[in-house]
Amino acid sequence: MVTEPAYFLPRAQLGRLFEALRADGRRVVGPTLADRAVIYDELEGPAELPTGWETDTAPGTYRLRETGSDRSFDYVLPVTSWKRYTHPAVVPLARARRDGAKVDIEAIVAEPPSLAFVGVRACEIAALTIQERAMRAGPLGDADHAARRDAALIVAMECAAATSTCFCTSMGTGPEVEGGADLIASELDAGFVLRSGSPAGSDLLATLDLRLAEPVEVQGAAAQVAAVRARIGNPVAAEGLPQRLRAALDSPRWEEIAERCLACANCTLVCPTCFCTSVAVASDLDGLDSTTERHWDSCFSLGFGRVAGDANFRPKVKDRYRQWLTHKFSTWFDQFGSTGCVGCGRCVAWCPVGIDVREELGAIAPITAPAGPIPWPPAPAEGHAPAALSVVAPARHVTAVVERLTPETTDTVTLHVATSDEALLAARPGQFVMVELPAFATPAISISRIRQDGLDLTIRSAGAATAAIGALAPGAEVALRGPLGRGWPVESAIGRDVVIVAGGVGLAPLRPVIEAVMAERARFGAVRLYLGARTPGDRLFVAEMNALAGRADLEVAEIVDRAGPEWLGRVGIVTHLFDQARWSGDRVSAFVCGPERMMQATAAALADRGVDPAATWVTLERNMACGVGTCGHCQLGPFFVCRDGPVFSIAELGTAFGREGL
């Protein structure tokens, strides 16, 4: 192995490094003092560093202590992390304007400043890499994050001190810097041992014209970081932790933590890898001009799990704490191939009630705990491999024109929109689009029909945005992003019997499945369509379904939850339609959509009839916000519903499907 030569920068010449960093127009960001804490901020020179200060931390405690030394990097970690610059708290996403029926939406392309990060610790380099992998994943990734990260130069500083909250050794992220930096520094009393970590770092060292470091200086730097490793020890038993956590979703400890946890979100805000966000839309008073911004959010926020109809799939504090902890230490592996924690200890120090994540991991998932059953497959199923770094591009807005509207029920309408966009016209059954209007939130809407010249979007009014979209007049423009998501695997049902079960508006995303099967009817076995609705007035596509019921080559059955004397059909839940059926499920492919409880009951009933869970498909249109898996709202166990779904097989989901609070 070739080792980069080490050079020595005397302390008195540290200003030269700052000058070299700024020579090509970069702004230098590093540690400084503010409000009795160390934070990251823009620096003019070495005089602004926290020279002569060190930090003491403990659960719920952060203190600065003056040492009187000349050393500038003996603090352990600042309060803030580098995500303040690579994943800022507020990012403008788009500008929109409506002029009569015309709509113009323009994505705001990031133009990040050129920055040099000085004093980046090993665990923070790991955090930058982990968050970068998350933000570059998916069909689009986050263009703003990618641009900011690509524009940053990293000057790392190996740790010469540790506090009681550090556990990078357990996470494999430090304290040694082993890569990911352009320049790697170690602070000694007399100055800094420097070595290159990239071509940019080599160029920087060349401009400084430094002497080679003496062996005693190199050895001193190595001894410092080795002492830090010894001091930290191995406080978290990380081996097998993801599996142990999966088997502990019902641990009584979650309730105990909830008694103490304030759900204040401090842990997620100071965390260097947390990336959850929400979108806010600000408009002028007449709603014609608006700006869409992304804001930091947290899975601890009560509203983070709220979905249409004001339901909430994580209403309890124990649900939200479990979501955070299992994501960091378990499901992050499924999604991105690594842990989501770097052991920096910020969450421990800045928890106002002193909850120590290391203690909780040991109590919830002790190393001696039996593995037990796990609620979902231990590795992603085919098509759900951990996301790799991908090329990102700005979100693509396509303007479509509303040709006409078809009222379906009292609160549901179908928009027939025209577009010539090749990608939209190539959508697959089960995919969705993000529908945008100026001054409104952007809902994810399933495609209910794919036409040669456009799409049908069947929309139930569940809030201001869906109500506004459903009220558009013919000739009005609307912006679409997509198609997005993984669709129904209709091709997997060729040569098999097909069972399609729809509940209420769940028929809309299943309509393209019905059309695809009927278009090539000879390639499938028996086809059975079971339709449920709350009332007769809530039935969708009534004329179409009646026409299908008149065909001899498929079976159609309907039922409603409640009805008056005018309804002559069956009353009850949709599974009643095939409770007494005589067909066998051993060669059935099933496609199911409706409220989650209805899909759970249907999946169980199908399993009882012998339908393979791997051939039972559901669509989980949870609280999809960004549509591309970068905001965190729609996480379900190891999956992001919008990115990895919304269509899943029951086998892929395992017992995570229907688990309360997950």
In which band, very low, low, confident or very high, does the pLDDT at 381 lie, cut at 50, 70 and 90? very low
What stretch of H or E contains 482?
strand 477-484
Q: Is 565 exposed, middle or buried (0-12, 13-18, 19+ CB in 10 A)?
A: exposed
Residue 548: name the closest of 556, 538, 540 by CA. Answer: 556
3-class state of residue 399 by DSSP: strand
Distance CA 487, CA 239 (A): 36
Question: Beta-strand (E) ranges in 110-190?
Answer: 115-120, 152-157, 183-187
Q: Which residue has the higher pLDDT, 396 or 43?
A: 43
Confidence of residue 375 (pLDDT cuts 50, 70, 90): low
CB-count exposure of residue 264 (10 Å: 0-12, 13-18, 19+): middle
Contact 107, 98 (CB under 8 A): no
String of b and e for 169-196 (b: at least 16 CB within 10 Å)? Answer: bbbebbbbbeebbbbbbbbbeebbbbbb
- For the chain, the C-alpha Rg in angstroms (whole number) is 28
Sheet holding 90-99, edge to edge: 102-107, 90-99, 289-296, 277-283
Enumerate the H helices of 293-442 as residue ranges: 317-326, 332-336, 346-349, 357-364, 422-425
Q: Where in the chain is the domain with CATH 3.40.50.80?
A: 491-619
Q: What is the pLDDT of residue 107?
A: 87
Report whether 380 contacts 638 (CB < 8 A).
Answer: yes
Distance CA 428, CA 419 (A): 16
Structure confidence by residue, pLDDT tens digits, 440-473: 999 999 999 999 999 999 999 988 999 999 999 9
Q: Please tell me the predicted confidence (pLDDT) of residue 648.
A: 95
Task: For residues 628 and 249, give the distance between their C-alpha atoms in angstroms, rounded to a whole number.
Answer: 27
Tell me whether strands 412-418 and 398-407 are parallel, antiparallel or unpaired. antiparallel
Cis-peptide into 386, omega within 30 deg: no
Report the pLDDT value the prediction gives residue 137, as an integer from 0 to 100: 83
The domain made up of 398-484 has a fold known as Elongation Factor Tu (Ef-tu); domain 3 (2.40.30)
pLDDT at 378: 46
Write down the CATH number for the domain with range 491-619. Answer: 3.40.50.80
Mean pLDDT score, 400-421: 96
Backbone phi, psi, residue 513, to 5°: -65, -45
pLDDT (mean) for 90-105: 91
Going by pLDDT thresholds of 50, 70 and 90, the confidence category of residue 377 is low
Q: What are the b/e assignments for 2-41, b being 16+ CB within 10 Å?
A: eeeebbbbebeebebbbebbeeeebebbbbbbeeebbebe
> Are the beta carbons of 610 and 603 closer than 8 angstroms?
no
Kindly report which listed range (23-37, 528-542, 568-582) carries the lowest average pLDDT score: 568-582
Q: Which residue has the tokens 């809407």?
A: 445
Mean pLDDT of 45-53: 97
Angle (CA) 595 601 605, round 5°? 140
Per-residue confidence band for 515, with pLDDT thresholds at 50, 70 and 90: very high
- The stretch 28-36 carries a mean pLDDT of 95
Separation of alpha carbons 400 and 447, rounded Å: 14
**How many whole angstroms separate alpha carbon 268 and alpha carbon 301?**
10
- Looking at the chain, the whole-number percentage of residues with pLDDT higher than 90 is 82
Q: How far apart are CA 123 and CA 26, in angstroms?
A: 24
Tell me if residue 229 falls in helix, strand or coil.
Answer: helix
Which amino acid would we find at residue 178? E
The answer to whether residue 109 scores a pLDDT higher than 90 is no
**pLDDT at site 371:** 53
The count of other CB atoms within 10 Å of the CB of residue 199 is 9
Q: 548-605, pLDDT tens digit by residue? A: 999 999 999 999 999 988 898 999 999 999 887 889 899 999 999 999 999 999 999 9
Q: Quick one: pLDDT at residue 208?
A: 95
Extract the tokens encoding 110. Answer: 């990031």
User: Contact, 185 vs 194, CB < 8 A?
Assistant: yes
- Round to whole Å and give the CA distance between 526 and 531: 17
Rounded average pLDDT over 356-374 = 82
Beta partners for 406?
A: 414
Tally Cβ neighbours within 10 Å of residue 339. 22
CB-based burial label for 464 (10 Å; 0-12, 13-18, 19+):
exposed
Model confidence pLDDT, tens digit, residues 295-331: 999 999 999 988 766 678 899 999 999 999 999 999 9
Tell me if 524 sits within 8 A of 494, measured CB to CB: yes
Q: What is the mean pLDDT of the chain?
A: 91
The span from the CA of 424 to the CA of 451, in Å, is 10
Distance in angstroms (rounded) separating the CA atoms of residues 482 and 542: 28
Question: How far is the C-alpha of 34 from the C-alpha of 32, rounded, in Å?
Answer: 7
How distant is the alpha carbon of residue 103 from its chain centre?
29
Distance CA 122, CA 179 (A): 9
CATH 2.40.30.10 occupies which residues in the chain?
398-484
Those residues whose C-beta lies under 8 Å from the C-beta of residue 165, and which sit 6 or more positions away, are 57, 58, 59, 345, 346, 348, 349
Tell me the average pLDDT across 109-137: 93
CA atoms within 13 A on the CB side of 336: 27
Phi-psi region of 2 (alpha: psi -120 to 50; beta: other; left: phi over 0): beta
